[in-house]
Structure 1
Amino acid sequence: MTRPDEELDGDRRHGPDTALRVVELSSGVAAKVCGRLLAGLGHDVILCEPPGGDALRTQGPLDEHGVGFAFSSLDADKRSVVVDLDTTDGRTALGHLLDRADLLLTDLGPARARAVGLTAPEIRGAWPGLVAVSITAAGLDDPRSDHPGDSLLAECYGGLASMIGEPDRPPLSLGGEQAAHAAAFAGFLGGMLALRRRAHVAQGDVVDVALCDVAAYIDWKSDIETTVAGTAPTRTGATAGQWRIVRAADGWVGIIFQPEQWDLLIELAGESAPASAPDQEQGWPVIERWAARLPKRTVYERAQALGLAVGFSADLGDLHGDRQYGSRSFFRGPRQDGRTVAPVGPPARAEGLPWRSGPPPALGDGGLAAQAWKHAGRQPPSTPTVHTPVPAPREGSSPRNGSVAPLAGVTVLDLGTITAGAATGRLLADYGATVIKVESASHPDPFRQWPVAGQPPSANGRDISPMFESNNAGKLAVVLELKTEAGREMLHRLAARADVVIENFTVGVTKRLGADFETLRAVNPRLVYLSLSSQGQNGPEAGRRSYGSTLDLLSGLASVTGYLGGGPMWSSAEVNYPDQAASLFGAGLVAYCLERGVRDVHLDLSQRELISWTLADRIAEHTATGALPVPTGNRRPSGTPHDVYPCAGDGQWVAVACRRQAERDALAGLVAPEELTGRSEEWWWEHEALVDELIGVWTRVRPRAECARALTEAGVANAPVLSAAERGREPRFRERRVFLGDGDSRRKGFPLTMRGYVPPDPAPAPALGQDQEAVLADPSLTGGKETP
């Protein structure tokens, strides 16, 4: 429902009567981000706040009106009602809202959920047509979720933090709240899957997303390497290894290249190349001297002109002056009436999809409108209209218990490669879509032969890399030579019967191959076409090359990731965080369009912009104050102390994150009662360095398990920093199917669970062109014409 004073991009494909009704019970970032996505897309999101308001309203840093930048960014375009869940009247009011809601977004832990009658069985019993999305620290039933979801703790327990930072320094959390944002993208995907399935089976569901599971899912490559090689990889940092971050005259640049490009890189730096790859170490001083003489953007421009995926570390000031962002209107200016708006535009662009960039709600401003829900004449969601017939599941993919897969009957043409595109297709296949991977025999997906530490090279060149397996399990495979007329004709015949096309080529390639949106929409005007590109489909830098590490830098994420007082840090090639986040959000966006009936749409997902979007609160602060955020280690404004601490034993760490004064008081009595007992919250903030030192004195003499046990018993939120090997021994990740199989069959699993649907283990990734004959002979996929 669009208020008259709201900014709306694009045309609405759905009238106000079909906007989703969303109830949000949130105190942490993840559920709020999920609600922000739905509010931005034009849906009616009611934020239920406790008496006195949401804690983020007054969490600093604050704007000139005394509102936290985090609140104004994450809660923009929502409406607010005051609901006291500790009273009968409050719980009754919430029940009235849920009676007419489509979606509930919640981050209540299990104890709180039991207290207010919102456990999964209670939700499914009282509101059988409701889709509930729970996004918590460790899952609906895990007592660790009684603490607020915290990205540092999630990234530590999920193993991701062990991969970020320098190898001889403490593990790092990615800047901002990245695990929370990625979990929100998973929640968005899960909510759309459950809504689509509701249309088939006339029943709601409870989607369970755990931040630590999502962090582990993002770090899937470490799991594969650990299983194959028998030893867990660790963080490589930015000052050693094949790729490095070096100083430029006015900042930092990331030197990113493939081994065969080394000579080209040295020539760019103005000197002859070392004789062989083992001599690279003597070449790095050459590169460092060259980069140090030039502005960082000059290094970036010159390297990109030669096809090198070099990136410069953009701080938030650089982003505001960036010509690519300016050409795409990524930033939003002040409204004419002076009211604050969300500082950034949509996380993805498409003509026909709305995006609102309005202000956050005043406390209780949605009260009257929310009451109207109670008396609305609209059909309750407990008896939804089934918009499409239930298709028969395809052979070999029948879900367990005979239930209908959320994406059953959907056909996807997957032109994606490596991670971003291919992983999006894998997610859609996981939930029932028929995904056809399209490759060229001469240029197959490079991940097919991607080397993995500990794995011998393929003897015949045909063995599938476990990296390829993880992103392509459950798909069908065909070979089409799109540089030929016959190959393009067959692609068009497949596209005519498809529902979705996914591609992540460099901008301009699909047009040359006859696989671009305009060409394919001519043969099928009902397509949902997703482009996952580095910087978007238009703009002066649209054609630039990148890897995940390039985007860490260009997005601004690296500028806020790093050690206190130090330089920028990336997620590294071992993680490539932007690729993983883009696949989660890309799959969610496709599922959204399928669920809402949005067709004939080109979804333009710039991976760079998506990661910048996760820093919206920092961007808002910079816009308002001019302050440039810098790396703060693991410290965050959400609480203190908030860091990792060394334990007895080599490379052993435990993370602590206190958001409440009661936790700080409990921690004081445990680690340093004489120095810390009775201290005010303000004192803890003012003496963070001293507190960190005192905690470290206590942890250093104790094994990690003992530290974690004592902290947990005291009621202090904590997590061990797990390596990939240690994570693999944790029962929860196997039980929740975050990873599947063992040995040669090891692959990533699922980022979420659904109470009403359990996806089957996917079939093995296909060999090149494995399903050629079956696919091209299937009239339901090619239109019944004779294949060439």
Structure 2
Amino acid sequence: MTETRIAPLEGVRVLELGNYIAAPTAGRLLADFGAEVIKVERPGTGDELRNWRLHKGDTSMLYRTINRNKKSVVLDLRTEAGKQAVLALVAKSDILLENFRPGTLEKWGLGPEVLNEANPELIITRISAFGQTGPLSERPGFAAVAEAYGGFRNLVGDPDRPPVRVGVSIGDSIAGLYAAFGAMMSLYQREARRRDAAGAVPLTERVIDVALNEAMFSMMESLIPDYQAYGVDRQRVGGRMEGIAPSNAYICRDGASIVVAGNGDSIYQRYMHTIGRPDLAEDPSLQTNAGRWARREELDQAIGTWACELDAADALAELEAAGVPAGPIYTAADISTDSQYAARNMIQKFDVSTGDEILPGVGFPGIVPVIGDQSLPIRNLGPDLGANTEEILGGLLNMDPSEISAASGREEALQP
């Protein structure tokens, strides 16, 4: 019996003109759940992400991860043949994703109005540093800059040191999530109007405008209301969270660190009894987060004293028995062997070619969210550059070999 493939977005075609992480993350999310995502890459080098954190070969594991479940087509958008091929793909697509500097598509003759002429139902999802409008719209910018503009960077790190960056491209990834959500929202609106015979969605409502700085700003919770209402200017607090205690990381006897979130009122009671400090559990001034935050140094010292007398595994076992949320701080090695990740198929193995050798059984992160009991299977890793050029241009667009060569820049490459 053949297992039914779960692909809620099957039949949706996405044209991805993005580089780096933001737009490709949106494309990955759509591809993960069945959309056909055609990734357009420049001749020769392709997406620059192919060279980021490159250890062997010509395509990084980062590219293989972010661009999984997609197809790669090489097109030279500097040429008329390349632009016409893009417009032909637009005519057959539901969603277009791009994360160029505002004005770039327009400069290439591929602005929203032109795209709309090719496909009056196309959803155009645009990601940029500061959005398509406003005084900063024309500025270039990566997520690092946007994280700073969004207020995020100011809160990351220790109070006596300069702000630091988290270890992943969080701004790009969050913007990609918003872009995918915006595209699906617009797709739903389009289909609802079709169902109700309510007419086409106007172009202005089919352009989804995601700004990296706004994506990060939207994660800042009550940063602005607290400041404007009460004059509270949040500061960096290291491993803690402003106004919430006790919640921090602690070093154990074996040198390993654990994270404990004992800030719920009832959890706090169990927590203090577990570390042998019933006096802190019963102290009237420590029954709320506000009171505990005021004495956070004292609480962290008490917890740190307890933790340093136990190995991490023993400390976690005591906390689990008491129902106190806690866990180890995992490394890549820990995640690779964790039974919970394995049970939900969250690490999927593939053989990967570097060009010189095959690396067997390399683990890649599974698909989130889970539908059913486990992650859906990854269909393919991020493809080699241009792996699907003939399939898409020849099969979908019925272009002949000479037309494919002209559109993909091969003719130019062959000229002396």
Task: Return the TM-score normalized by structure 2.
Answer: 0.84
Is 2:231 the counterpart of 1:626? Answer: yes
* TM-fit CA distance, 1:570: 1.9
* In 2, Cα distance between equivalents of 1:471 and 1:577: 13
1:121-147 per-residue CA deviation (whole Å, 9 max, x = no partner) reads xxxxxxxxxxxxxxxxxxxxxxxxxxx
Is 2:268 the counterpart of 1:676? Answer: no
Kept in 2, the 8 Å contact 1:436–1:475? The answer is yes
Correspondence for 1:728: 336
Is 2:89 the counterpart of 1:494? Answer: yes
* TM-fit CA distance, 1:721: 1.4
Give identity over the alignment, percent. 27
* TM-fit CA distance, 1:566: 4.2
Correspondence for 1:401: 3
Is 2:24 the counterpart of 1:425? Answer: no
* In 2, Cα distance between equivalents of 1:692 and 1:557: 25
* In 2, Cα distance between equivalents of 1:425 and 1:546: 20
Structure 1 counterpart SS, 2:3: helix
* In 2, Cα distance between equivalents of 1:684 and 1:766: 52
Kept in 2, the 8 Å contact 1:552–1:578? The answer is yes
* In 2, Cα distance between equivalents of 1:494 and 1:518: 16
Kept in 2, the 8 Å contact 1:641–1:684? The answer is yes
* In 1, Cα distance between equivalents of 2:112 and 2:373: 35
* TM-fit CA distance, 1:742: 5.6
**Count of aligned residue pairs for this structure pair:** 376
Is 2:207 the counterpart of 1:602? Answer: yes
Correspondence for 1:647: 252
Kept in 2, the 8 Å contact 1:547–1:576? The answer is no
Q: 1:735 to 1:417 in 2, by over 3 A?
A: farther
Correspondence for 1:764: 381
* In 1, Cα distance between equivalents of 2:165 and 2:257: 21
1:305-334 per-residue CA deviation (whole Å, 9 max, x = no partner) reads xxxxxxxxxxxxxxxxxxxxxxxxxxxxxx
Report the AA paired with residue 514 of structure 1.
G
Structure 1 counterpart SS, 2:11: coil
Kept in 1, the 8 Å contact 2:71–2:383? The answer is yes
* In 2, Cα distance between equivalents of 1:641 and 1:758: 34
1:531 to 126, 139, 143: 126
Structure 2 counterpart SS, 1:477: strand
1:652-691 per-residue CA deviation (whole Å, 9 max, x = no partner) reads 2111112333222212212132542412315534321111
Is 2:363 the counterpart of 1:746? Answer: yes
* TM-fit CA distance, 1:530: 0.7
Q: 1:552 to 1:632 in 2, by over 3 A?
A: same
Q: Please list every run of 5 or more consecutive structure 2 residues that lacks an aligned counterpart in the other structure.
A: 192-200, 353-361, 404-416
Report the AA paired with residue 480 of structure 1.
L
* TM-fit CA distance, 1:401: 2.6
Report the AA paired with residue 592 of structure 1.
M
* TM-fit CA distance, 1:583: 1.6
Is 2:194 the counterpart of 1:589? Answer: no
* In 1, Cα distance between equivalents of 2:278 and 2:8: 57
1:157-190 per-residue CA deviation (whole Å, 9 max, x = no partner) reads xxxxxxxxxxxxxxxxxxxxxxxxxxxxxxxxxx
Runs of 4+ in 1 over 4 A off after TM superposition: 784-787
Correspondence for 2:194: none
2:171 to 578, 584, 591: 578
Correspondence for 1:688: 296
Q: 1:447 to 1:591 in 2, by over 3 A?
A: same
Correspondence for 1:287: none
1:70-107 per-residue CA deviation (whole Å, 9 max, x = no partner) reads xxxxxxxxxxxxxxxxxxxxxxxxxxxxxxxxxxxxxx
Kept in 1, the 8 Å contact 2:6–2:376? The answer is no
* TM-fit CA distance, 1:637: 5.2
Correspondence for 1:656: 260
* TM-fit CA distance, 1:769: 1.6
Q: 1:584 to 1:545 in 2, by over 3 A?
A: same
* In 1, Cα distance between equivalents of 2:375 and 2:162: 44
* In 1, Cα distance between equivalents of 2:310 and 2:373: 43
1:550-596 per-residue CA deviation (whole Å, 9 max, x = no partner) reads 2221211011222245442222xx41111111222221221222233
1:216-252 per-residue CA deviation (whole Å, 9 max, x = no partner) reads xxxxxxxxxxxxxxxxxxxxxxxxxxxxxxxxxxxxx
* 1:377-392 matches, cutoff 5 A: none
1:511 to 84, 103, 106: 106
* In 2, Cα distance between equivalents of 1:730 and 1:466: 21
* In 1, Cα distance between equivalents of 2:185 and 2:147: 26
Report the AA paired with residue 213 of structure 2.
R
Q: 1:742 to 1:705 in 2, by over 3 A?
A: farther
Correspondence for 2:356: none
1:725-752 per-residue CA deviation (whole Å, 9 max, x = no partner) reads 2122212223323332267443332121
Structure 1 counterpart SS, 2:78: coil
Correspondence for 2:359: none
Supply the RMSD in Å over aligned alpha carbons: 2.3
